[in-house]
Every structure is written in C-alpha cells, then in structure tokens.
Amino acid sequence: MRKETNRWMVGSRGKRGVVLLAATGVLTVAAASCSVPNASPAAVPTAKRGDVQPDAARVQTNLGAVVGKHEGAALAFLGIPFAEAPVDSLRWRPPVPVEPWEMPREAKRFPPPCLQIDRKTHEVIGAEDCLYLNVWRPAAPGTSGPLPVIVFIHGGGNIQGSTSVERSGVRLYDGAKLAVRGDVVVVTLQYRLGPFGYLTLPSLDEESKTGTSGNWALMDQMLALRWVHDNIAAFSGDPHRVLLFGESGGATDVCALLASPLAAGLFDAAIIQSGGCTAKPQSRMVAWSKEIAEGAHCADAADPLQCLRGRPGEQLLRAANLLTTDKGDIVGRGGPTIDGYVLADHPVKVFARGDYSGVPVIIGVNAQETASPRFGIPWRLTADQYRNIIEQRFPATYLQILKLYPAADYSLPHNALVAVTTDRQFVCPARLYAHALARGQSEPVYRYLYTHKMSGASRFDLTLLGAAHGFELLYIFQHVEDFTHYTPTPEDARVEKLILELWISMARTGRPSSEYAPAWPTYDLRTDPYLVIAASPAVKEGLRIEKCNFWRTTYGRRRHPH
C-alpha cells in the first residue's frame, strides 16, 4: 500500500524518484556510555484488572490498551513492547511483532536495558527481553490536530546504552520536557546490542528466508518505526511527520536506515548527530561471530547454532568482548553490516548513487568531540608527549599532522590532540557524508557545528571539555536545569531554546529554523556552509577545509569508499 505523501514534502523522493511505501557524555554524561542498574528480565508486566487507576492516562493501540502516567505537564507511556522477546529460538532472527493483549497494560516504568556489559563496572546488566519503546506527549497540546513525532535512537556504539541512561542525576533521554516545550510526541526505542544485534554466520544465512544474517538491531529499529506508523495517531501524533534522530552509535544507525531500502517510508526527516555513515563488510562480521562461537565453546559442537542459542547471554557477551583498550575499556565490533538485504552497499556509495529514498537531513558534530573522558585522551600532556602520540598513531604522516596542528596553536597540548582526533573521527567524515547526501538527493541537507561550552558554576570546570561528545543531548532533551551540581547560565538557556526550535521545526516542516538564528542555508558542495550552534549562532563556510582535505586524501578512502 502506498504511503500518503508527507504534507510538507515537495518533489521527488531522491534523484531517482523512489516512491515512499507504507510500513513495509557531559563529564559523566557521555551518551555512548551506559551505567544503569541491573533490571529484571520480567520487563514491563501486563496490568491486572485491579491495578489500573481510573484517572490514569489510557490509550488504545492496535495491540491493546496501555495505561501511562502523568509526568509534569506530559503524559508518559513507558515500556511498551513492539516485538516478542528475542530469546531461545527467536535469538538471531528478525523481530516478531508482539502478540496483542486483552487486559490494559501498565506503561509506567522504563524497560530494562538490552543485555550488555557496563562500561564502568564491566558487569553484565539488562536482559534479552528488551524490545520496548517509550512515548511522551503533552497532556494539553498547544495546537489542534496531530502533532509532529520525533523518534530517538540512543548511542553506545551498538554495544551499550538504553532509553533509561542516567547521568549526573538526569535521565538523559526522558522526553517529557521535550514533548511539552516542543509540542510534539517523543518516542525513544531500544534494540539488540553487540552479539545479539549483529551476529552473522553461514548457518544463520541458511535458515534465513533472505539468505542473509546479521543487522538484527537495524530490523528491531525498523519494526519500532512501523509500530510508530501504525499506532502514534492514538497518542495524538502524526504518522506522516516523523523525524528520526540519533546520536553517536544511534546516528550511525540512522544513516544506515537512510540507506536501507527496507526503511523507505518509515520516517520523513532525519538528524545524524556525532555519528558515522559507516558499515562493516560481512566477512569481517562473520570472522567476529566465529570468534564468539569459539569463545562460547560452540564452534566444534554437533550443531553450533543450537549450541549458541542455548548459551546464557552473559557467556556470549564475555566471548564477544575479548578485546579491550589499555585502559580496560570494552571494544565492540557490532554495527551496521553490508549484508545485501538490509544494506546492499556502504551508505556513502548508496547516497552518491542516489539509490535510496531521500528525506531532509541534518548532519553535524560537536567542536571538541573527543574531549569527553570516554575517549581517554590524557589531560597532562607536554608538547613532546603530544608529538610522540601523533608519531605513534600516524607514523607515515606525523610531520604533516604536526604542521597542521602545532601544539603552539592551542592553549594545552591536550587540546591539540583533541583537535586532531575530533577532525579525524567526526568533523571531516561529516563533510564527506554531507557531500554524498547532497549529490544523491533533491531533498535539502543541512550541516552544523555545535560549539557551546557549559560555563555555569559546577564542581568541575566544564569549559575545559568544550563541546564534547554528547553534550548537546542535555539541551535537546531540555535537561540543563536538571544537571546535578550545575548552575545554568543565560547562554545555556539561549542554546537550549535555539536547538529546541531547530529540531522541532525540522520535524514540523522539514526545514530547520529559529527566531534565535540566521537562516540556515542548505548544503552546497562548493562552499560547504554550516550553522554554528552556540549562544550567538552564525552561518559560516568551509569548515576546516585544509585539514579535512588532508584527512580525506591521506586516510579517508579506506574508511569511507565511494
């Protein structure tokens, strides 16, 4: 069935005219990290008849009634299942839509995180029964008619994270304030992580109807988006104005969904925040998956796949995360995979060919991404130590890099290394993605650089971190005043209002705008325009052109072919 064309979309869907089809951190606030209490696999129970309060928020979905709760001026519906638990025989199979329920179901608490190893404690947390989503809407919408919908995919490198991440006294992705202040419906969703989201084996290919395996996490996200399409009207949302956005690993997933033919028509605009449009070759994922089978002592079993499905999740997690950094951080190798089904090719190649369903896209990064403690850049660096690190990491080109990023140009050698790694990992790849998107679609593309520094009174001088990885999330979800031991400044309030208006107008109209910012130009291949998101926003051109040209010509083609 053909999907109704979005009311604010004009023209073709991509240069090839693809038709839209119907549903077919901050110091410790690092969005890619996760440290939440272990939760019971029981997840969200179905309410008993006597448990439902007569004054509770109640919504009838296509699958059954859900009973939420008031959260300030918002209604919150937490832990709504969109798929059957992916356990036992459903482990490493496409998500199965959840069976309808008869009695009203309580939706008043967050679901457990998907099974993962906590970044800080290295303990196993969460449950495999984790495919749930959360919905917030204003209790009293400010406008009549259906509200725009914004759907968020959390970060965590596809190995960690959840919708209930808590940092410095803040539920980072709680959407109550965003829903009320933006007059929108907010949805956050969970998806399988690590080996549960991306295991790829020939034996799984053989049992699959498509002849491929892996990308289970992307299929989880697509099923959640189909749930939104089918049910969000019951929450006062408009299924034809759905903005999909993600940060870090979640942004990588948003980019993969843009490139996937299976996700066509499931969202109408997208924002890619501080994440890469990357995908791994299937052969690499098969090699990783075989390592997991060996680590779980299933490689030599009579039926290795049956053996793997019988292993406890904790054992599989331990087998999947054999590599650690010198600081003991977990290294994951999960993520979007070129499988020929969910992803036919590398997203950059797909975009450059125009072989996808184009939608308006915002793509951007933060000015000091790698200043976040999770990236492990030492604070006390001398100029000589900085030089040695660059020489060790880039032995063939270190002299060129030191010339482009001399320590004398920065207040601290630490900041010079942050500049190198931020450009290499975030700023310059984002230009490549913007180029490919602008070439491949007629829908507008916008680029930003988030530069705002938290300068209010706090226990730690947050200005030293600058605009680090994940810092913008406090402002998008309207939580700056909730941040423990921090006193917001007038500049914080302006940035919070600015980014709210930009993101919400993108959801409403497909064009980001704010009374606090100059007109945001669409991306131009020749001039490289971008919006500086700060207390005093500005439009500029040519973001670190010389440096990015160096990274592109020297290293870029191996990572981002097109």
Q: Which residues are catalytic?
A: 248, 369, 469
Strands 538-541 and 529-533 come out as antiparallel
* Residues in a beta bridge with 49: none
Both tokens of 434, joined, read 């913007």
Residue in the structure block whose two tokens are 């992916």: 86
Query: How far lies 268's CA from each of 241, 244, 354, 360, 361, in Å?
Result: 6, 8, 17, 7, 9
Q: Quick one: which of 30, 39, 249, 43 has its CA closest to 124?
A: 39
Query: Do the Cβ atoms of 258 and 244 come closer than 8 Å?
Result: no
Query: Do the Cβ atoms of 354 and 440 come closer than 8 Å?
Result: yes
Query: Do the Cβ atoms of 339 and 270 come closer than 8 Å?
Result: no
Calpha distance 147→317 (Å, rounded): 40
Q: Quick one: which of 344, 28, 316 has its CA closest to 159?
A: 316
Q: Kindly calculate the radius of gyration of the chain based on its CA atoms and give it in whole angstroms.
A: 23
Residue in the structure block whose two tokens are 């051109």: 541
Question: In the structure, how many helices (H) and strands (E) does the chain have?
Answer: 17, 20
Calpha distance 112→124 (Å, rounded): 12
Per-residue DSSP letter, 123 = -
Query: Do the Cβ atoms of 348 and 252 come closer than 8 Å?
Result: no
Both tokens of 196, joined, read 């549960």
Both tokens of 479, joined, read 């939580």
Per-residue 3-state assignment (H helix, E strand, C coil) for 36-64? CCCCCCCCCCCCCHHHCCCCCCEEECCCC
Calpha distance 227→84 (Å, rounded): 13
Dihedrals phi, psi of 399, to nearest 5 degrees: -65, -40
From the CB of residue 419, how many other CB atoms can be counted at a distance below 10 Å?
A: 21
Strands 269-273 and 237-247 come out as parallel
Per-residue 3-state assignment (H helix, E strand, C coil) for 403-430? HHCCHHHCCCHHHHHHHHHHHHHHHHHH
Angle at 114 between CA 182 and CA 239, to 5 degrees: 35
Angle at 175 between CA 238 and CA 537, to 5 degrees: 90
